[in-house]
Amino acid sequence: MDFSHFNDQGRAKMVDVTQKDETYRIAKAGAKVKVNSATMQKIKSGGIKKGDVLAVAQVAGIMAAKKTSYTIPMCHPIMISGVDINFKLTNNEINIISTVKCKGATGVEMEALNAACTAALTIYDMCKSVQRDIEITDIMLLEKSGGKSGIFKRDNKNATVLSTCISEQKGTKKHEVPFVELKNDYGIIGDAHAGKWHRQISLLANESIDTIRQAGVVVSAGDFAENILTQGINLKELTINTKIKIADTILQVTQIGKECHTDCEIKKTVGKCVMPTEGVFAKVIKGGKIQKGDVIEIIKEDI
């Protein structure tokens, strides 16, 4: 079936999707809004005179997803079944992730991109009176599924290892080491938690412990009992059996989170600990060496 965007006269047309099968489709898109620390503080505290910046941006993104075919000429009107806009704030950056779902004959990539872009533009509009040089960057499709083309997931080449840690005895705090050596179906050589079981190695994202740092607690590598501290990858979105490649090693996710130790010092100080909900545990499929700076990739299975 030919899905050309040109008619017999060589002019643009809307693609005819009449004969395409309806499938369940999801698309995620992202955008970043870079502001200065003063603007970010006003956003967080509700000090922007136009109102709640993120609430307005969220509604704007949802509205944009529903109206995409009004502004993108060749987009089909789609019966969207769900739109969600999420924000993650750092000291000077708002990361926007839009998720759009439908069951139909064509995908919702443009709807997700339009939602993320419009949410970003709305943040600019809400805040331009206090900062004119706000930057909007990294508008991109992050992933999509459904339809003939199957699954797409953007490679995140910025995902890296921040530190590697071990503990020689159970019940003792992990400490940072220059590198770790992994053994197939065993774990990290020299780590007390290695063995023939499903939690051979633990990973935690540096982004996950930002909330702990914001509470004023100074944390260092190994404080959450993690073997691998990562940066630039959303571990929370991984699912059981996902395969992760780090340098030459391959891990397979076996568990998300675990019960927190009752005597966890971080929980005593802050009132919560991120490892029970955001930590990832895995077994070693392929051994090798992991060290700081190694690139982390998600292995995509054949469709």
pLDDT tens digits for 130-139? 999 999 998 9
Asked if 79 and 167 touch (Cβ cutoff 8 Å), the reply is no
pLDDT tens digits for 50-64? 999 999 999 999 999
Strand segments, DSSP code E, in the chain are 23-34, 80-89, 93-104, 135-145, 152-153, 160-166, 175-177, 179-183, 187-188, 201-205, 228-231, 243-246, 249-256, 280-286, 288-291, 296-298
pLDDT tens digits for 173-227? 899 999 999 999 999 999 999 999 999 999 998 887 766 666 666 777 788 889 9
Number of helices (H), then strands (E), belonging to the chain: the values are: 7, 16
Domain chopping of the chain, boundaries: 23-153, 160-298
Catalytic residue among 84, 125, 138, 210: 125
DSSP label of 75: P
Token pair belonging to 265 = 């010092």
Is the full-model pTM beyond 0.75?
no
Asked if 31 and 116 touch (Cβ cutoff 8 Å), the reply is yes
Q: Is 2 noted as a catalytic residue in this protein?
A: no
160-298 sits in which CATH class? mainly beta
The CATH-assigned architecture of domain 23-153 is 2-Layer Sandwich (3.30)
Residue with tokens 């005593």: 268
